[in-house]
A = this chain, B = another copy of it.
């Protein structure tokens, strides 16, 4: 009841976030290869954020699949998540335009951290709305990736002040962590079923 519109609205916001980020790659006014050079870090930060928004869309999709009742708390927890995701274009653009400098890289991690916490809160809201014997609680299992990610983001934020590239590396590693094993789990599930 109402889940379809929640999904449609979230899809709309995520689709716009993912597409608006590309606007930070400003079209150069001359046709030389040299004019593309300063866009390389902007492009790389775009790729990273595209993957992150893709992961969020993918997980959001699966989580709402297990959601049976949309309570007011779920609605607002979802908007809260969308709020932090809506800051991705800003954080991505600032990091890319400043060639992965320390402070913008740290802010990028703060936005990732806030989004991860918001995702966890939404998960809790859905579980709470399902009462005892929640389908979602069983589906997420130990949720070690959900618990590990915020810690790694914290580590990465600290690391950017030592050397920004360590922070970047952790951001990439967390993204890969979410990408790779999901497939393995799904394959296992399909084989069992």
Contacts and interface: CB of A to CB of B under 8 A. Distances in A.
Nearest to A75: B58
Contact of A16 (B19, B33, B190): B19
Contacts of A29: 97-98
Interface string A1-26: 01001011101111111111011110
B20 A90 contact: no
B90 A27 contact: yes
A184 to B, nearest CB: 9
Interface residues of A, number: 60
Interface string A55-70: 0011001000100000
A38 to B, nearest CB: 12
Nearest to A15: B12
A179 B71 CA distance: 13
Nearest to A64: B5
Q: Shortest 6 CB-CB distances between A and B: which pairs?
A: A12-B15, A31-B101, A31-B98, A27-B93, A16-B19, A54-B79
Interface of A: 2, 5, 7-9, 11-20, 22-25, 27-33, 36, 47, 50, 54, 57-58, 61, 65, 71-73, 75-76, 79, 82-83, 86-87, 89-90, 93-94, 97-98, 101-104, 107, 179, 182-183, 186, 190
28 contacts: A2-B61, A2-B65, A5-B11, A9-B11, A9-B57, A12-B12, A12-B15, A12-B16, A13-B15, A15-B15, A15-B16, A16-B16, A18-B82, A18-B86, A22-B86, A22-B89, A24-B27, A27-B93, A28-B94, A30-B98, A31-B103, A58-B72, A58-B79, A71-B186, A72-B182, A72-B186, A73-B183, A76-B179
